[in-house]
A and B are shown apart, each in its own frame.
Chain A
């Protein structure tokens, strides 16, 4: 009786594992099937090494890159997950070299940690592109990126006029040590806080990009302060969390809130007039440019490319066209 039970359970476990493996197989091969028919033309092997599939923007970008790659019959793309670890990501870059990929796209977990490995890629005679965020100054490596400083900067410059005199603001930061988190905060400092000494920061915490953590901090700040004029958040998730905490509180209906990323939730909040602005980091645009750049490098049109996507500021005025854009791309479900 007990033995049967154990057997059944083990078999179930194995089945689940097999099913999971089967799944991932079909996913990675889906790109290659598309160009299977186009025999004759040379097919290039491209590795896309994502920072972490568990990070929602990184996941979006990886999916976008996968989709975009289907448009290129001469490119066979494989996606790897760096699991938010320098170690893992570095060894994946090394693996890509060993497995003789023709081009390696690296979305670094931490730019400086991956720099020597990207240099290895170049030295092995393989094309390299770094993206989101770029690792600049590697001889022979191309870069495609959105500039995190600028992403926050467009918000900060708009805020200069929007945030009232002697305002009280709270700041929500990403994990410290994260390139985007640090750059965005730096941008707010230089573009806004240094120019507006009258503004007082009444609360500043690390909410790790998370909605739930931001929500909790905001709830506490609301208790400690009789008014908060603006939420300065380094990403949209945290801004949404802060807004969630005060959504039924009439006193805060006029509060300003800034984010970065351009998530679907942020667009919704901007449309409803709850959030002030965000900057779209458009994964589709990034993916488009990445594949375009890859194609150009592989087919020998150019040797090195450095390019940026735009940093559009999204406000109530233009949010609809971006919602449309994203809806078209099926990002909003």
Chain B
């Protein structure tokens, strides 16, 4: 009887932590059977290379979503950083100058985001929506809407390999580790979870909320800048119109990976798994030549499923792991009035 209970407790914890990897594994197996080409080394390398750019964006989004924010401008800022980096390379021929230009552009745009969000208290959704339009506008203005061509050696970052591993995949691995390290091994990471989980409580615990938000955006800026460089290098052009809607692909990966939109929950591994789930699906649909329109429907359905799962598991968590709880505290998930929800509890009352 007692063992039984421990087992169920263990299983619910296990499921909570590892279910995403089980889904990934299951999908991997299904794909392997669905098409013989799926399992080839070439194809798997291919998928990883294709995923590198959006997954790096997704890591940035994960950091932001955990702290209760998000970045809708990622795709546009990526294009701007990339276009700037490419022209810097074309005019100087220096990788260093190009990379620094790209990263600085990403960071500057995200500092503006942070100013709007943290200092002027604009909702992140609106602040970054504004940046989405502005950054794209600047990219188009700068290039007069034309693609920048003939990048020559610059393509090595996106198309080259070291040994048999493509350079974008190395970047992907590096950023996965950086994100994991930031979230798990730094004070900053722990503070992100606290700020996203309950901003007021974090502030009342001595966490500098504004500093955390600025840092989160700046880190996102670095990620976006690097993604921009990789993107342009990979397509061998400076595309001011490139990477449209990439922010949504990135958000999708983060959500499927279990990052909770109510903040305070998420992990690098989950996002990586989420990105690969999307990547495997896209790939298998292309390998088996699924119709374009159908692909969109399936992708949408997957997001809906992921969100439903997120919500359900959250409910179950409050019911389940209760220990011996009369869960008046269970309601607290909804509480706190974060993000300007108009709901208040009576208990706060007019003190």
Contact = CB atoms under 8 A, between A and B. Distances in A.
Give yes or no for direct A-B contact (beta carbon below 8 Å). Answer: yes
Interface residues of A, number: 43
Nearest to B148: A333
Interface in B252-291: 282-283, 286-289
A244 B288 CA distance: 22
A212 B240 CA distance: 12
Given A56-B241, A212-B231, A220 B287 contact: yes
Interface stretch (A38-46, A263-271, A286-294): A263-271
Nearest to B119: A6
Interface in A284-330: none
B239 interface: yes
Contact of A224 (B37, B146, B295): B37
Interface string B135-178: 01000110011110110000000010000000000000000000
Contacts of A4: none
A54 B286 contact: no
Interface stretch (A57-65, A72-80, A97-105, A122-130): A57-65
B286 A212 contact: no
Nearest to A225: B37
A53 B140 contact: yes
Given A217-B286, A224-B35, A224-B286, A60 B235 contact: no
B151 to A, nearest CB: 11
A195 interface: no
A206 B290 CA distance: 12
B35 to A, nearest CB: 7
Interface string A206-234: 10101110011101110110000000000
Contacts of A216: 50
Contact of A60 (B119, B145, B244): B145
Given A53-B145, A241-B235, A268 B150 contact: yes
B40 interface: yes
Contact of B146 (A23, A59, A176, A215): A59
B147 A221 contact: no
Contact of B286 (A59, A205, A237, A265): A205
Contacts of A33: none
B62 interface: no
B42 interface: yes
B321 interface: no
Q: How large is the interface on B (under 10, 10 to 19, 20 to 34, 35 or more residues)?
A: 35 or more
A249 to B, nearest CB: 10
B239 A211 contact: yes
Interface string B226-243: 000001001111011111
B286 A211 contact: no
B235 A211 contact: yes
B17 interface: no
B96 interface: no
B115 interface: yes
A210 B237 contact: no
A202 interface: yes
Contacts of B243: 212
B292 interface: yes
A9 interface: yes
A140 interface: no
Nearest to A331: B146
A223 B287 contact: yes
Contacts of A53: 140, 145
Nearest to A9: B115
A271 to B, nearest CB: 12
Nearest to B210: A2
A55 interface: yes
Given A210-B244, A223-B37, A268 B149 contact: yes
Contacts of B136: 54
A58 B145 contact: yes
B208 interface: no
Given A205-B286, A217-B286, A264 B149 contact: yes
B92 interface: no
Nearest to A59: B145
B46 interface: yes
A55 B35 contact: no
Interface string A248-291: 10000000000000011100100000000000000000000000
Contacts of A219: 46, 49-50
Interface in B95-115: 112, 115
B46 A223 contact: yes
With most chain A CB atoms within 10 A of its CB, the pick from B38, B119, B231, B288 is: B119
A60 B145 CA distance: 7
A209 B161 CA distance: 28
Given A212-B239, A212-B242, A54 B289 contact: no
A220 B283 contact: yes
Interface of A: 2, 5-6, 9, 13, 23, 53-56, 58-60, 63, 173, 176, 202-206, 208, 210-212, 215-217, 219-221, 223-224, 237, 240-241, 244, 248, 263-265, 268, 333
Question: Which 6 pairs across A and B sit closest by C-beta, in order of nearness?
Answer: A59-B145, A220-B286, A224-B287, A223-B43, A206-B292, A212-B235
24 contacts: A13-B112, A53-B140, A54-B136, A54-B240, A55-B145, A56-B146, A56-B241, A203-B289, A205-B295, A210-B239, A210-B244, A211-B147, A212-B235, A212-B242, A217-B286, A220-B46, A220-B282, A220-B286, A223-B37, A223-B38, A224-B35, A240-B237, A265-B147, A268-B149
Given A204-B292, A215-B235, 13 more contacts: A55-B241, A59-B140, A59-B145, A203-B289, A210-B241, A219-B50, A220-B282, A220-B283, A220-B287, A223-B37, A223-B46, A248-B159, A265-B147
